[in-house]
């Protein structure tokens, strides 16, 4: 199909498919439809990137709208405005002729206005027999009316995206503030822990965000910071519980000492242990399994286990535990060792430990022996999963991926 051309004061221009589509849609405008010209202009200012026009082009469109005699763009009021380039230049605060023509062409190509050229290329309107405006040559604003709903929907979409961006920014600010305060409290109270390392990790996470981040980048960082904040809170809660337990043990010890002041030699013979008899094993104290860490943090620290999930992905704790069973067998960990770990640590934490062992596979000779050792330490309250996850997060986290 050969290109069609339209005559203009600046020569013959090829008519693009977009221009043809714009003319076709403008020809099907409802005769009774109307739109406020400034309302649709404000919507265009919001949706300019989606429509594909620049600020300069919008300034030219604003000038064209000032020549439209009514506030409502409607068929009854006509669609064509016909200012000269000199008049347009004045209303665009002295825009140069070449710049003006380039931005008029951009508005035409974007399908926001249509050229209605006269035979001699001039812009004017003829009077009809009743003294009103008859045929006019210039720029038709009919596409603004024809595309009003589309432009308003695009503007609403842009505004919703801006609100979401602002909401994410606020959440990031609050999360950062929480983490800063929690670390400051831990340092001031001299709580045992890797707080300096956590501070460094937090600074690296914060520095990974660009000056003008996208919503996706902020969502990714927010997930990492939420998981990091939960780790800090869990660490502080764990230390607080340990201190309370130690304080209670000390009080109980003093109470027992004071209530039974007599030495064992003064007890009746029947209560003394028989010579040579083995002392009974102390009863094993049952400990409540610690709470699990956020799944997002576990997957960030241990990405290798994701491939073992159902369908090659992990979207829930159930998926992680299913993957851990497969990895357990692959690493040569016996079912009894894994079951004991589940009983002591809880199934979620046991699966997390398996993920950590898989991640550090090259540094561990016997995965089964290592798991049993960790289980024994966890049973005595000497093992915390947090430092292990922190080390792997530093190695496999978003900062490491970005700089790697």
310: Cβ contacts below 8 Å, ≥ 6 apart: 319, 322, 323
Buried b or exposed e, range 228-259, using 16+ CB within 10 angstroms: bbebbebbbebbeeeeeeeeeeeeeeeeeeee
Q: Are 117 and 6 in contact (CB under 8 A)?
A: yes
Phi then psi for 8, rounded to 5 degrees? -135, 170
Query: Which secondary-structure segment (H or E) carries 81?
Result: strand 80-81
What is residue 57's predicted lDDT score, i.e. its pLDDT? 93
pLDDT at 142 over 80: yes
pLDDT at 269 over 60: no
Euclidean distance between CA atoms 219 and 214, whole angstroms: 9
Q: How confident is the model at residue 256 (pLDDT cuts 50, 70, 90)?
A: very low
Query: Considering only CA atoms, which of 261, 400, 274, 289 is closest in space to residue 349?
Result: 289
How large is the average pLDDT for residues 1-14?
41
The beta-strand segments (E) located in 141-254 are none
What is residue 386's predicted lDDT score, i.e. its pLDDT? 79
- Angle ∠(16,20,22) on CA atoms, nearest 5: 115
Any idea what DSSP says for residue 4?
E
Question: In this predicted model, what pLDDT tens digit does every residue of 15-53 receive, in sequence order?
Answer: 555 555 555 555 567 778 899 999 999 999 999 999 999
pTM for the model stands at 0.54
Q: Are 112 and 61 in contact (CB under 8 A)?
A: yes
What is residue 404's predicted lDDT score, i.e. its pLDDT? 45
Q: How confident is the model at residue 124 (pLDDT cuts 50, 70, 90)?
A: low
What is residue 382's predicted lDDT score, i.e. its pLDDT? 82
- Angle ∠(314,318,324) on CA atoms, nearest 5: 75
Axis crossing angle, helix 215-259 with helix 385-396, rounded to the nearest 10: 160
pLDDT at 183 over 50: yes
Q: Are 153 and 147 in contact (CB under 8 A)?
A: no
Percent of the chain predicted with pLDDT > 90: 27
* CA distances for 125 relative to 4, 34, 163, 291, 296, angstroms: 25, 22, 45, 79, 67
Start-to-end Cα distance in the chain:
52
Q: How confident is the model at residue 243 (pLDDT cuts 50, 70, 90)?
A: low
Q: Are 114 and 176 in contact (CB under 8 A)?
A: no
DSSP SS3 for 36: strand
Buried b or exposed e, range 163-198, using 16+ CB within 10 angstroms: eeeeebeeebeebbeebeebbeebeeeeeebebeeb
Phi then psi for 47, rounded to 5 degrees? -100, 20
Question: In this predicted model, what pLDDT tens digit does every residue of 352-367 receive, in sequence order?
Answer: 999 999 988 778 888 8
Which is higher by pLDDT, 9 or 229? 229
Axis crossing angle, helix 195-207 with helix 148-188, rounded to the nearest 10: 160
Euclidean distance between CA atoms 247 and 385, whole angstroms: 24
């Amino acid at each position: 199909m050969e290109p069609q051309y339209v005559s203009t004061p600046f020569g013959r221009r090829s008519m693009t498919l977009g221009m043809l589509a714009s003319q076709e849609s403008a020809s099907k405008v409802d005769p009774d439809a109307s739109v406020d010209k400034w309302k649709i202009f404000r919507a265009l200012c919001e949706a300019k990137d989606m429509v594909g026009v620049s600020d300069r082009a919008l300034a030219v469109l604003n000038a064209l709208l000032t020549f439209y005699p009514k506030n409502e763009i409607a068929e009854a009021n006509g669609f064509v405005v016909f200012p000269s380039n000199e008049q347009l230049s004045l209303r665009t605060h002295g825009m140069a002729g070449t710049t003006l023509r380039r931005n008029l062409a951009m508005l035409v190509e974007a399908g926001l206005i249509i050229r209605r050229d006269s035979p001699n290329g001039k812009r004017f309107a003829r009077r009809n027999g009743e003294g009103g405006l008859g045929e006019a040559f210039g720029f038709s604003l009919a596409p603004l009316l024809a595309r009003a709903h589309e432009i308003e929907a695009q503007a609403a979409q842009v505004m919703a995206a801006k609100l979401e961006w602002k909401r994410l920014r606020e959440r990031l600010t609050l999360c950062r503030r929480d983490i800063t305060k929690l670390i400051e409290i831990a340092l001031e109270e001299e709580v045992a822990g890797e707080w300096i390392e956590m501070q460094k990790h937090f600074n690296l996470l914060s520095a990974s965000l660009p000056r003008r981040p996208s919503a996706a980048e902020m969502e990714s960082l927010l997930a990492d910071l939420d998981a990091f904040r939960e780790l800090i809170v869990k660490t502080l809660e764990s230390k607080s519980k340990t201190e309370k337990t130690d304080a209670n043990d000390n009080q109980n010890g003093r109470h027992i000492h004071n209530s039974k002041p007599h030495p064992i030699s003064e007890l009746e013979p029947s209560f003394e242990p028989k010579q040579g008899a083995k002392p009974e094993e102390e009863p094993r104290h049952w400990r409540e399994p610690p709470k699990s860490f956020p799944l997002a943090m576990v997957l960030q620290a241990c990405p290798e286990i994701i491939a073992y999930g159902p369908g090659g992905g992990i979207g829930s704790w159930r998926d992680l535990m299913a993957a851990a069973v497969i990895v357990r067998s692959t690493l040569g960990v016996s079912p009894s060792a894994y079951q004991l770990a589940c009983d002591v640590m809880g199934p979620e934490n046991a699966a997390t430990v398996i993920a950590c062992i898989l991640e550090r596979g090259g540094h561990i000779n016997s995965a089964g022996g290592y798991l049993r050792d960790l289980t024994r330490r966890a049973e005595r309250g000497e093992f915390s999963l947090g430092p292990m996850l922190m080390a792997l997060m530093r190695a496999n986290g978003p900062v490491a991926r970005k700089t790697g």
